[in-house]
Every structure is written in C-alpha cells, then in structure tokens.
Amino acid sequence: MILKNVITTGVLTLSLFSAFAFVQKDGKEEVKQNPATADNGFAVLELFTSEGCSSCPPADELMGKIEKEYKNKNVYILSYHVDYWNRLGWKDRFSSAENSQHQQLYSHLLNSQVYTPQLVVNGKTEFVGSDENAVNKALQTALSGSQNTNISLSAKVAQNEIQVQYDGTTTTSQNMLLVTLVEKQSSTDVGKGENEGHHLQHWQIVHQQNSIAFNTQQEGITIFQVPQSFSKENWEVIAFIQNSKTGEISGSAKFNFNSVQ
C-alpha cells in the first residue's frame, strides 16, 4: 500500500556536484573535475521508498529503467530509503532517520503529504514514484526547461575517507550545496512485512549526504567515510544546488568512480 502520514516540517537544505577524473598522487587517488556544459537541461529525481512498502518495488524498478535509458543525459537519480516503515515488521537496512527528515522537509516546501513511493523532480513537483507516464512527462519538461549551473570539484580517496573539494558561485545566498554518496545497485531478500518472501532490486541508493551553506562565492572540502562495501564499479557521487527557501534545484552533476584509470 501507499503509506501517507502528515509529518512535522523544517527548513530544507540541499546541493550540487560535477564530473571529474582520477590521477595518482602520493599513494592516493585524486579526482579532478571535467566541467559540464552549463547550458544543458537537467533532471534530479529524488525517490522516497522502503523495503517495507508493497507499492515501492515498481517505483524502484522504474528508477533502474530510467537510469539505463538516460545514462547519457543529465538525469540524476537518488533513492532515499525512509525509516518510518521499519516499525511495521521489516527493518530496511538502507533506511535512515535523515532520509525521512529530508522527505518531511519537502512536505513543507511542496505542501504535500509524506508517503511512499514519492518522487520529487528538480525540487519543484511531486507525485507517485511508480507512475511511469508522470515520470516521463516530468523528465521531458525538466530536460527542456532547465539550465544546469556548474561548479568546480576535486577529490582525494584515501584509505578510510573520500575528500571532495568544491569551488563555485551561485546567484543567491539562500542556496545550499548537497553532496551525496550513492550505491548504484543492490538487492535484498525480504523476510518480513508487506514484501515478505520477495527479492527486491534497488538502484541509486543514498548512503551519506553532506549539506553545505553555499554563499555567492564558496570553496571548501567535504568528507565521506568510505563504506565497507565500497567499490569503484558500483558507487558514484551526485550533488545539486538547491534554494533552501523555495526548494528549486538550479543544477546538478555526478562523478562515476568507475571512470578511474
């Protein structure tokens, strides 16, 4: 079923990122950005999902389909596994309170209820995440009607952490930078709850997310802990710049660790 429940709201903080390539230096892998074209349209798809929700697997599968079909387009997918389903019989190992809070903040900005599967596109529109027609329409609107803001990034991957350095400009001090560490694909055999006995596939799973106040001119470093399951082939970084007052996203990009030479 689709779970809907009104939640308390707060102030939304969010993000941007860009593409780069690794070089070896002092035993560490250093990532240098290859700036994206600033005038390309883009679409950021944020799915709120749960392994405990029987309506969510079709939305998860749709995200996998879109990821494959739009792999050469400026389409950025983030799947946030929420934790409020955990009390109903099955604990989603990818879920977190932070993901649920992120969705609650959208309910304030978009004047929407909190439910799964919910999809938010470019921080401006929301609808049921398994509605393929609505997703395709929103994608075409976003890709043709948006303009991607750019930012310079570099990163070093040490033994236990990933250091991302950013440098860029924005048009308003209300913007936030949200940088996200994403697992491209995983699966789970569900033992309880609404999906008991099912083998679920997941795509673009949010693991860690760092938000940074992004003033008119901003540079700095943000750090991720390297996950135990980390591999270059199955992880990437996605980030986007978002206005904390309106929720509108003004740009996004990603780095694929598999591009390391």
Which residue is it, tokens 């250093």? 30
Q: Rounded to the nearest 10 degrees, what angle do helices 132-145 and 56-69 cross at? A: 40
Most confident of 15-29, 82-96, 212-226, 242-256: 82-96
Q: Which residues pair with 221 in a beta bridge?
A: 165
**Nearest 5°: CA angle at 107, between 106 and 112?**
125
Most confident of 8-17, 19-28, 202-211, 214-223: 202-211
Give the residue ranges of DSSP H helices in 147-223.
none
| pLDDT in the model for residue 33 | 41
Q: Is the pLDDT of residue 171 over 80?
A: no
Q: Give the CA distances from residue 125 to residues 16, 105, 107, 185, in Å, rounded to whole numbers and listed in that order.
A: 19, 14, 11, 25
pLDDT tens track for 75-117: 999 999 999 999 999 999 999 999 999 999 999 999 999 999 9
Pairing mode, strands 75-81 and 43-49 = parallel
| pLDDT in the model for residue 79 | 98
Q: Is the pLDDT of residue 144 over 90?
A: yes
51: CB partners within 8 A, 6+ apart: 81, 85, 90, 92, 93, 94, 95, 188, 190, 193, 195, 200
* Residue 42 and residue 95 in contact, taking contact as beta carbons nearer than 8 Å: no
Worst-scoring range by mean pLDDT, 27-41, 114-128, 194-208?
Answer: 27-41
DSSP 15-30: -B---EEEEEETTEEE
Worst-scoring range by mean pLDDT, 170-184, 221-235, 247-261?
Answer: 247-261
* Residue 239 and residue 250 in contact, taking contact as beta carbons nearer than 8 Å: no
Burial class (CB within 10 angstroms; exposed 0-12, middle 13-18, buried 19+) of 261: exposed
Mean pLDDT value of segment 222-234: 90
Band of residue 157 on the pLDDT scale cut at 50, 70, 90: confident
